[in-house]
Amino acid sequence: MKRNCPKKTCHSDQIIKDGSFYRSNDSRKIQRFKCKTCGARFSASTGSLEFMQKKRRVNFLLLKLFCAKVTQKRAARIAGVNKTTVARKFDYWARKAKLKNESFRERLTKSKVHHMQFDDLITKEITKLKPLSVTVAVDAERRFILAANVAQIAAFGHLAEASVKKYGKRKSEHIMVLDKTFRALTNVVHKRALIESDEHRNYEPIIRSYFPRAQYKQYKSEKACVAGQGELKKVKHDPIFKIDHTLAMMRDGVSTLVRRTWCVTQDPKRLQGHLEIFIYYYNKYYLGGLTPG
């Protein structure tokens, strides 16, 4: 693999090896390089997301804990590190997972999705009076999670009046996030794919605008059963079982999505980062390292 100078203006053919050093925090020998053009010295880890990290040994352990319904404070106790370190590792994994997921979708353009299911998962920001919606799309054949995006929505049902009274009128971002989700999937999903969802009124206009030639089917929402965190349905045959099962696994893997818990989302942006981490782990490790194509 050719190395480039950090200054980016120098030619890669002017890079030479310049010794090595022992990195104690993960017991690895790291190659050093030198740019003959500008004289800059750098190593194989320069410019990576892990650059200057001091606790590399716990990275993969924390990745597994973040996707195993473990809170950050509990993860710090299990890994034997400070909770501030865990918070920084969370931000690191959120950035890395987002890049990995984008790369994964780019690879999927070579083996497009022919059967997609999608639905919304409802959660909350601090209180039930401030609900959030997570739009999730999956490949129903290969079980890959294609995307998951968080949207702020207005309270509904018997909580609507109390929410307006306490927090004022809450803007709904649901349609905007639906548009963002399917715009990112236009090159991933086949033009004549089978797309399935429930009968939410906002779904069909978005699907018809981005996938006009697709076969789109909607199914009536059914009563949920006790199992699966309320996501699995109490019916003999669930036509959108793949997405319902994925949502159930999300609730069981992301600590702030669990029902009836004192661990709640404080910031929708942090939840988005946690979802990126879960998608990366689920697609790469839970599905056995499967790759598209």
**pLDDT > 90 fraction of the chain, expressed in percent and rounded:** 70
Which range scores top for mean pLDDT: 42-51, 188-197, 219-228?
Answer: 188-197
The tens digit of pLDDT for each residue in 104-161 reads: 999 999 999 999 999 999 999 999 999 999 999 999 999 999 999 999 999 999 999 9
Q: What is the predicted pLDDT for the residue at 293? A: 45
The contacts of residue 184 (CB under 8 Å, 6+ apart) are 105, 147
Residue 77 clears pLDDT 90, i.e. is over it: yes
- What is the pLDDT at residue 292? 53
The one-letter amino acid at 143: R
Q: For the CA atoms of 252, 255, 256, 257, what is the dihedral angle to 10 degrees?
A: 0
In the chain, where the domains are located: 1-47, 92-286
Q: Residue 11: is its pLDDT beyond 80? A: no
Of 15-29, 79-93, 191-205, the least confident: 15-29
| CA dist., res. 206 & res. 202, Å (int) | 7
For domain 92-286, the CATH class is: alpha beta
Which residues are CB-neighbours of 47 under 8 A, at least 6 positions away?
6
pTM score: 0.89
Q: Are 214 and 230 in contact (CB under 8 A)?
A: no
Q: Over the stretch 158-183, which tens digit does the pLDDT of each residue have?
A: 999 999 999 999 999 999 999 999 99
| pLDDT tens profile 27-39 | 888 888 888 888 7
